[in-house]
Structure 1
């Protein structure tokens, strides 16, 4: 009886683990000698969890992936392993099962309406990576598909969208290129929520990234440029999305457009050199724009027709025309928060409102006064009726050097007295006395050359101490300490563009060596007597 029980247990365990135990690798090559010459035949023969290795070549077929398999090009190089649609009216890869991987292919030829290079149809947990998907109607399309990962794909020269998500949520799109897609978008989301788009490059499409009725998505570190119309669009009730650290530039229309969409957050984005408006908010409310750089947009930096209760603070506006508000479009928006410890976007000590500049240097923040050096203009900036920036930011760049000789602040001669040949220690105290970060700090001395310092940059209020030693010389000695530092005056530039400096002299008196030092002083009377006797002895000698 016990033996029978053991046999039953063994049989059950074999059934339980047969899936993993029997996982196999199947090879495909368009030349004879491998298991199969067609990818579809390999899938038909495969079991779930099998791996299909496809050798380089051209495979003309439409592939139905209806098993949970891994399909890899042997070389990993999509340039030498091409899958071309046998029928232009069908998807090249039609994925209808979960847990599929497709990687390393050049996928092309599904050109009929709504057909895609790769189509994920109501599936989950698939991994699509390192493919080149081109010359299809759509490059890569997800329909009712969640929790999939799309990494390092290039979707280019497709007739419609490069990458399209419809009613698909919680997907990850990382490091993809969606370029030169002709008629619609590089990446589009329709009714798709909780997706993460990270480090994608979306360029030379009609529109860059388009959201419609899509909520709670995150866009981080994407580059969206040179699209024929808008760069990024949130429309049709696309709410609670977050855009962080994206670069949106050189698009032919608006950089970022928000239309009929609320409660979105735009943080730390750079929006520059777009041909129309940098950021446009239309009929939308409760959006937050924080710490964005909005520069050199041709028509306008920012507009918000028929939009209210938006919060716009700690941004840099540096355009010929920063805002345009007509009397008919005036609504109430919030342009600053209460004074809060920073640093702010221009390096000042407090966060409040925005930095208002013009490329020619005539902007409000560039010309205002800041008597107490707190990084805010002394007066508020009136944008339009009921729209005031009460804490506009400004830049006050200054640096101070205080030089000491053996611990004394000897700006005037004679300074401390130092025995010739003794060690002299010069101390250079450097302080950022302005309201912006200082970069590339250099300390020199007119007699001693460059002085080594512990830091090359200082935040507002920070200090550092630099030192130099030498040997004292005889007589009155003076030398001059100098400090130069750079700061970002053109805040749209990536590198500092302006320079400031300060100097401070120091002195000492070098005491020379006395050859009679230590010799006892002689009595003058005795000295005269000795000299007289010597004279008499000399005269007597001459008489002989």
Structure 2
């Protein structure tokens, strides 16, 4: 039977400790505060911040009511390394060595919802094998321009991305390269809808197939 684990701020890496203690299908709820990454989610769990279910585009990022993950990692502060992982309701910021979030092309079904992702090298380095749809929804990607490889991208993929929905996000900063940047040849079945690109660089797709781009708003690019 699935369990629920509550995490509060403390020394070390309490979120990772909770993940290590969890089993597939468990839910981990993270209370407001500052947490140090990186965090590797290698089980089919839901990782829920204080703002889970609350659209990141409507939030001011007030520290007292946010679950904030910061730190340094060449891979990503939050690493989704299992099928059907849910990350919802965090602020992920300040990685000077890599992405705010990372998912490899060896799994799929990632759900990345309602997160503020800012001041990293890349916002979300998103890859997936496409067996199950990946969804990136209602996030705020802001100013992910720290120096490093592939810097200046809100969402970036070059390892392979398949069967993904990118819907109802906001990109601003501006990002020095692109709001969304996807590079093939294994980039296919991509849906990009209802996003807001606000005073930011736009959407760049290279060697991709079966792509739908619809109902996005691009302002002051």
Shorter-chain TM band: 0.7 to 0.9
- Helix, strand or coil: the match of 2:188? coil
Matched, 1:148 2:134: yes
| Structure with greater helix percent | 1
Q: Choose from 131, 145, 162 the match for 2:115.
A: 131
Equivalent residue number for residue 68 of structure 1: 44
DSSP 3-state at the match of 1:117:
strand
Q: CA deviation at 1:189?
A: 1.5
Q: Which residue of 2 aligns with 1:373?
A: none
Inter-partner Cα distance in structure 1 for 2:51 and 2:139: 16
Q: 2: CA distance between counterparts of 1:43 and 1:198?
A: 32
**In structure 2, the residue corresponding to 1:40 is in which secondary structure?**
helix
CA distance in 1, matches of 2:193, 2:33: 32
Aligned to 1:83: 69
Higher RCO (C-alpha 8 Å, min separation 6): 2
| Residue deviations 1:256-293 (CA, integer Å, cap 9, x gap) | xxxxxxxxxxxxxxxxxxxxxxxxxxxxxxxxxxxxxx
1:178 and 2:210 equivalent?
no
Residue 399 of structure 1 aligns with which residue? none
What secondary structure sits across from 1:213 in the alignment?
Answer: strand
Secondary structure at the aligned position of 2:144 is classed as coil
For the 8 Å contact 1:28–1:37, the answer to whether it is kept is no
Match of 2:2 in 1: 23
Equivalents in 2 of 1:156, 1:226: separation in Å? Answer: 15
| Aligned equivalent of 2:29 | 53
Alpha-carbon distance in 2 for matches of 1:145, 1:180: 30
1:42 matched to 2:18? The reply is yes
1:216 corresponds to 2:210: yes
Quote the offset at 1:213 in angstroms.
Answer: 0.5
Whether the 8 Å contact between 2:99 and 2:122 is mirrored in structure 1 is yes
State which structure, 1 or 2, has the greater radius of gyration over its C-alpha atoms: 1
Shift of 1:111: 2.0
2:93 pairs, out of 77, 98, 108, with 108
Per-residue Cα deviation, 1:54-90 (whole angstroms, up to 9, x for no partner): 00111112101111110001343663211112x2434
Greater share of strand: 2
Aligned-pair CA distance for 1:169? 1.4
TM-score normalized by the length of structure 1: 0.35
* Conserved 8 A contact 1:151-1:175: yes
> Structure 2: 5+ residue runs without aligned partners?
146-151
Q: Distance in 2 between matches of 1:37 and 1:185?
A: 32
Is the 1:26–1:42 Cα contact (8 Å) retained in structure 2? yes
Q: TM-score, normalised by structure 2?
A: 0.84
Structure 1 runs of 4+ off > 4 angstroms?
none
CA distance in 2, matches of 1:148, 1:136: 22
Hey, what's the Cα distance between the residues in 1 that align with 2:104 and 2:220? 31
- Per-residue CA shift, 1:207-258, capped at 9, x if unaligned? 300010112100110012222xxxxxxxxxxxxxxxxxxxxxxxxxxxxxxx
Give the length in aligned residue pairs: 199
Which whole-Å CA distance do the structure 1 matches of 2:192 and 2:38 have between them? 29
